Each structure stands twice: as structure tokens, then as C-alpha cells.
Amino acid sequence: MPNSLKHIVRFILFVLVQGLVVGQIEFGMGIHPLIYPLFILLLPFDMRPIIIMLIAFACGLSIDFMMNTFGLHASAAVFVAYFRPQLYRLFSPRDGYDVMKEPTLQEWGYTWFLSVTSTTVFLHHLWFFALEIFKTSEWWNILKSTFLSAIISLVLMLITQILFFKKEKL
């Protein structure tokens, strides 16, 4: 499957799964699992940052339409897309990234994947819940929601990577 078609299919699947399945799960205590940041992380290493930010905006806005959240997801997705190049640089292997490989668990291993994903998910969720609650007096609820939602989101992302992203055999 050509790369652009693969990313379009992923976009549609992540938006639909987030909006119709994961977004409807009710955990209580302000916990909202969000798996669509994984889509932003799976975009190619060599894609220009402005393109990633535009794609992230479209992804977040699509989820906002489905979940009636008025730009929260779009804002958080663009926030993550903006910091994505710096995060990838921070966790870069000594020899740099092979742009022919995808940024997946199977290609780069558990240590790299968990480091990048956990940092990204924490930043995404912190931004999301800070905007959603939007009160400095509620900092404890913001941190609690961020931490608990991030853990559940990371588990779902890890399961997604293990089940649906197999290494291609040559």
C-alpha cells in the first residue's frame, strides 16, 4: 500500500476508533483515554513539521466534531505535533533515524517507543486537561486526570502497536 494511502486509512481509523469507541468509554474520576496522539507519532520521520501540524489539526478537529469538544482535541493535537520534532531529537538513536523505517514499536523497540510515547501522551493530556478544566485552583484534578488518563492511553497504544503493527517480512 502506498505511504500516503496508508496514512489516510490510519487517519480515518484513528478518528473513528477514538470518536466512536474509546471516546465513549466512561471510567469516572475525570479519566478520558485518548489514543489518537499515536497517529501523530506514526507519521514519517522526514515529514515537514508544518504538514504534521496541519494533519494533527485536521485529526483533532475531526474528533472534536464527533465528541462535541469545541477545539480541545485540535489544540492538544497541534501542541503535540509542534513538539514532535524536539521529542524525536531528544530520544534519537546515536546514528539518527532511518527515514525508511516507521516510528513504531516493532521498528525501534520498547525502550524507545515507551520513552517517546509516554512523554508525548503526558504532554498531550496535560495540555488537554488544563484547557478542559481551565482553573488554577483545580491543579490537583488536572494532574490526576492527566496521570490516570495517560496510563490508560499508554496501555491502549501499546496494545494497538502489538496487535496491529507487525514488522513486514521481506
pTM of this structure: 0.90
Contact in structure between 111 and 66 (CB atoms under 8 Å): no
Which pLDDT tens digit goes with each residue over 13-37? 999 999 999 998 878 888 899 999 9
Residues 132-165 as b/e (b if ≥16 CB within 10 A, e otherwise) read: beeeeebeeebeebbebbbbbbbebbbebbeeee
Which pLDDT tens digit goes with each residue over 107-140? 888 999 999 999 999 999 999 999 998 888 889 9
Q: Flag the least confident range among 63-77, 88-102, 118-132.
A: 88-102
Distance CA 10, CA 15 (A): 8
Report whether pLDDT(1) > 80: no
Domains contained in the chain, CATH given: 3-164 (1.10.1760)
Report whether pLDDT(156) > 70: yes
| Confidence (pLDDT) at 52 | 97
